[in-house]
Amino acid sequence: MIAVSIHCIQSQQTPNLAAAATLATQGPQRCGQSRALAKRTADQTDPAARIESLYRIALARVPDEVELQTATAFVTTDPSDASEIKESKVVDPWTQLSQVLLLCNEFAFVD
């Protein structure tokens, strides 16, 4: 007869994945990276050219027509027009667009 010990319980601390994911996507380092990316293209005055530059830097490609139209509409919309934005800590739309590009799957994973 073989004796097997069933008292080998290993204690593991499970990380809080939701908190880790939030920190990775909205933490100070990611926000700083988004601001730096937006700042790299700040000298361009044409929104379409600036969006193309952001896409080239972040994703190494130009945006398609739908992406360009959506991004242009987003960055040219006055945030004071949006009724849901009531806070004084509103991040500029170029930084927000940069953060979206840095968080997309295409940036994180290579085909």
Structure tokens, 2: 């073989």
Q: Is residue 23, in this structure, part of any structural domain at all?
A: no
Q: Is residue 19, in this structure, part of any structural domain at all?
A: no
- Residues spanned by the domain of 59: 29-77+90-108
pLDDT digits (tens, 9 = 90+) for 21-53: 555 555 656 678 889 999 999 999 999 999 999
pLDDT digits (tens, 9 = 90+) for 67-87: 999 999 999 987 665 554 445
Q: Is residue 42, in this structure, part of any structural domain at all?
A: yes
Q: Is residue 84, in this structure, part of any structural domain at all?
A: no
Q: Is residue 20, in this structure, part of any structural domain at all?
A: no
Predicted model pTM: 0.68
Strand ranges, E, within 6-82: none
Q: Is residue 43, in this structure, part of any structural domain at all?
A: yes
Evaluate whether 25 touches 67 at the Cβ level (below 8 Å).
no
Q: Is residue 46, in this structure, part of any structural domain at all?
A: yes
Q: Is residue 1, in this structure, part of any structural domain at all?
A: no
- Long-range contacts: 102-107, Cβ < 8 Å, 24+? 102/30, 102/33, 102/34, 102/37, 102/58, 103/25, 103/30, 104/59, 106/59, 107/58, 107/59
Q: How many independent structural domains does the chain possess?
A: 1
